[in-house]
């Protein structure tokens, strides 16, 4: 569990705001791992061991585990339990349903006694409004990360609709910020729209933003920081494939470390440039 002040402290200490996305696909991991009883967990474990000093968050993507049924869920549970406690444990689940259903999703990801998992934060989709977000906030110190602006082509379908008071994603941010403070709410903001960070910061001056799409999806870290960084950093930038699949050989964990180190070094520069450290 990391509170806001603890998260900021971790960022300053480690000189990084990197999140490593564990979108672990059993068909993409090195073949030699298949000999282990749980190849996906073995892969994640080695990635974590090789990178934990270079990042402040890990983010398994639930879909990649759910695709494998019970085996996948066991890999996810083992992974969550192995994740370092000084990193934010984010489940990328993009859930969104009414109150009593969200209560159950909260149990699934936040309540170890029920499900075996104790994540610190969950990504949530806002379409169903307030009901779909508040149940997660009943857990003290847990975070909700609401989809605002995403970086794929489909984001244009609805997120850019004009609601009369700006784009839909702006309305989402403004409304959600009436439900909880910046110590509990973050937003997903796609990095391919870095100039839009200026507008987003008007509505979310203090919230941490979880930024996917730097690296494999082509966003520029420099631009994201130029327009999105705050005095507390305020950014968690994710990289998944660019790190975890840096090599397909026996050296995959070292190769992942090398990629994570490059990003950590760039991030340190940005933190220094902005005077955060």
* Interacting residues with a copy of itself (CB under 8 A): 23, 25, 61, 63-64, 66-70, 72-74, 77, 94-105, 107-108, 111, 114-117, 125-133, 147, 150, 152-159, 161-164, 168, 171-172, 175
To the nearest whole angstrom, how small is the minimum distance from the Cβ of residue 129 to a copy of itself? 3
To the nearest whole angstrom, how small is the minimum distance from the Cβ of residue 139 to a copy of itself? 13
Nearer to a copy of itself, 45 or 174 (CB): 174
Secondary structure of residue 253 in the 3-state scheme: helix
- Neighbour tally for 104: CB within 10 Å: 15
Do 30 and 253 meet the contact criterion of CB atoms below 8 Å apart?
no
Nearer to a copy of itself, 192 or 264 (CB): 192
Q: Is 94 annotated as catalytic? A: yes
CA 52, 48, 83, 4: dihedral to nearest 10 degrees? 30
- DSSP secondary structure of 53-81: TT-SEEEEBHHHHHTTHHHHHHHHHHHHH
Residue 62 φ then ψ, to 5° = -55, -35
Nearer to a copy of itself, 87 or 122 (CB): 122
- Neighbour tally for 175: CB within 10 Å: 15
Among residues 222, 258, 224, the alpha carbon closest in space to that of 243 is found at 258
Q: How many CA atoms does the CB half-sphere of 183 hold within 13 Å? A: 8
To the nearest whole angstrom, how small is the minimum distance from the Cβ of residue 123 to a copy of itself? 9
Catalytic residue among 94, 174, 175, 262: 94
Nearer to a copy of itself, 51 or 102 (CB): 102
d(CA 169, CA 34): 42
d(CA 62, CA 198): 31
To the nearest whole angstrom, how small is the minimum distance from the Cβ of residue 102 to a copy of itself? 7
To the nearest whole angstrom, how small is the minimum distance from the Cβ of residue 114 to a copy of itself? 6
Nearer to a copy of itself, 50 or 147 (CB): 147
Element (H, E) at 104: helix 99-110
Please give the positions annotated as active site.
94
């Amino acid at each position: 569990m990391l509170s806001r002040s603890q998260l900021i402290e971790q960022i300053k200490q480690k000189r990084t705001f990197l999140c490593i996305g564990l979108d672990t696909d059993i068909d993409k991991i090195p073949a030699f791992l298949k000999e282990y009883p749980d190849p996906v967990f073995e892969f994640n474990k080695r990635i974590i061991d090789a990178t934990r000093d270079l990042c402040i968050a890990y983010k398994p993507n639930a879909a990649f585990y759910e695709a494998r049924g019970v085996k996948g869920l066991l890999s996810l549970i083992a992974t969550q339990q192995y994740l370092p406690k000084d990193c934010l444990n984010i489940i990328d689940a993009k859930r969104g349903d009414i109150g009593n259903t969200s209560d159950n999703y909260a149990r699934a990801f936040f309540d170890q006694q029920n499900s075996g998992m104790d994540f610190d934060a969950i990504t949530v989709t806002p379409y169903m409004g307030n009901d779909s977000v508040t149940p997660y906030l009943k857990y003290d110190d847990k975070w909700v990360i609401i989809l605002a602006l995403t970086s794929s082509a489909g984001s244009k379908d609805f997120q850019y609709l004009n609601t009369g008071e700006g784009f839909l994603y702006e309305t989402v941010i403004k409304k959600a910020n009436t439900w909880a403070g910046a110590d509990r709410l973050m937003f997903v903001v796609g990095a391919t729209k870095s100039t839009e960070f200026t507008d987003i910061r008007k509505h979310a001056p203090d919230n941490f933003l979880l930024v996917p799409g730097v690296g494999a999806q082509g966003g520029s870290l420099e631009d994201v920081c130029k327009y999105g960084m705050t005095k507390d950093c305020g950014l968690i930038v994710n990289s998944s494939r660019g790190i975890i699949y840096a090599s397909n050989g026996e050296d995959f964990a070292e190769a992942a470390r090398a990629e994570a180190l490059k990003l950590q070094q760039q991030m340190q520069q940005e933190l220094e440039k902005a005077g955060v450290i």
